Amino acid sequence: MIKQSFLWLGILFFLVAGCDDPGSATDIDTESDADTDAYTGTGTDTYADADTDTDTDTDTDTDTDTDADTDSYINTDTDSYINTDTDSDVIPSIGCGRTPSLLNSPSTANQNNLMNRQFIIRWPDNYDNNHPYRLIISLHGAFGADTDIGPSYLGLFDLSNDSTIFVAPSAEGGFWNSSADTAFVDEILTVVKADLCIDTTRIMLEGFSQGAAMARVLGCTRPGVFRAIVAHSAGGLDMPSECEPIPYLGSLGLLDIMPNSQETQTDPFAKWNGCTIEHLPTAPDGGHVCTNYSNCPAADPVRWCSFDSDHTPSPTDIGQFTSWMPEEVWSFLTQF
């Protein structure tokens, strides 16, 4: 009986010890840990790979491509403009890339209205809204209108070879006003630069008679806006009392209204630009002569053209049927 009791105690001890065996519990826990590690490792690696792939996609995504496109746009336009105008300092207007809403006026039939005033614009038939163009504002003489300037723009449009946009405003009642028309041209520039692709470093002025005097006013009251001025037989508005250096070409006929002369037309700009002021050649009978002032800064030359004729922006030499002036003006403006 006692032996049987010891036997049952032994069996019971064995069973209890087997259930509480630490090794067996460790094995189960170990398997559980192994599963957890395997899941965590695989899951973490997979998640990291997914993130890495996502990052890779982000590195090559549309944003990066957009940046590339932007660089390409700038480089393309700049290179294209360099090839045309040999200058890399192009600053495109905000109108680049936009479809124009202004009216192109190759026949002057389409006139744009602003501030209850009108102006005409002519741009190339092959206009590219991603290419910044030179802009020339042409100002008619007293008693005139924008249609006196367009569509030839004093002969420059045909010479421009699709490189330039031209604007011709109309003076109210045919007469320019220094204050009111400075504001008018300011508004035109705001509208045109927002609608068309303009190289804002090459906005230039050409004018005849009172329009030439208005060009002088604009160039001097808006320093840094205009790159050059061409003024034919300027008069009818006061010469500015001061001006920042700016390239200037002035012309005058020997038979023009007295006392107009080199001294009244170009000497003030030569002085402001730091050139040497001296008496320059006058036109021979039936001809013309154009002369640069000496010692001007390379960036701001001044040129004087004397011709044997009367009050006109388009003089011809004796025996000739076409004016030499458009070529002279175009050569002067396109050096900038």
pLDDT recorded at residue 217: 98
- Is the domain of 42 the same as that of 116? no
Give strand pairing partners of 291: 304
- Asked whether residue 54 falls in the same domain as residue 178, the answer is no
Q: Which amino acid is at 91?
A: I
Tell me which residue range forms the domain holding 240: 112-333
Reference 218, options 193, 200, 244; nearest CA is 244
Q: 133 and 273 share a domain?
A: yes
Residues 259 and 180 grouped into a single domain: yes
Distance between CA atoms of residues 297 and 224, nearest Å = 16
pTM here is 0.75
Residue 34 lies in a domain: yes
122 in the same domain as 18 = no
Looking at the structure, tell me whether residues 322 and 256 fall in a common domain. yes
The strand pairing partners of 5, in sequence order, are none
Residue 206 sits in a domain of what CATH number? 3.40.50.1820
Cβ distance 156 to 326 under 8 Å?
Answer: yes
Answer yes or no: do 294 and 206 share one domain: yes
Backbone angles phi, psi at 290, to 5 degrees: -120, 135
Run means of pLDDT, 10 residues per run, the chain, 336 residues: 41 39 38 36 36 38 36 33 53 98 92 92 97 98 96 98 97 97 97 98 98 98 98 97 98 93 97 98 97 98 98 98 98 98
Q: What is the pLDDT of residue 173?
A: 96
Quickly count: other Cβ atoms within 10 Å of residue 259's Cβ. Answer: 7
pLDDT of residue 109: 85
3-state secondary structure of 250: strand
Tell whether 289 is covered by a domain.
yes
Note whether 140 and 233 are same-domain residues. yes
Q: Is residue 39 part of a domain?
A: yes
Query: What is the predicted pLDDT for the residue at 108?
Result: 87
Decide if 107 is inside a domain.
no
Beta bridge partners of 248: 229, 302
Residues 14 and 150 in one domain: no
CA-angle at 174, arms to 200 and 235, nearest 5°: 75
pLDDT exceeding 90 applies to what percent of the chain? 70
Residue 231: per-residue pLDDT:
98
Edge-to-edge order in the sheet of strand 112-114? 112-114, 117-122, 164-169, 133-139, 198-208, 228-232, 248-253, 302-307, 288-292
Please, are residues 235 and 140 in contact by the beta-carbon 8 Å criterion? no
For the chain, the domain total comes to 2
Please report the pLDDT score of residue 301 as a whole number: 98
Q: Could you list the beta-strand ranges (E) of the chain.
A: 112-114, 117-122, 133-139, 164-169, 198-208, 228-232, 248-253, 288-292, 302-307
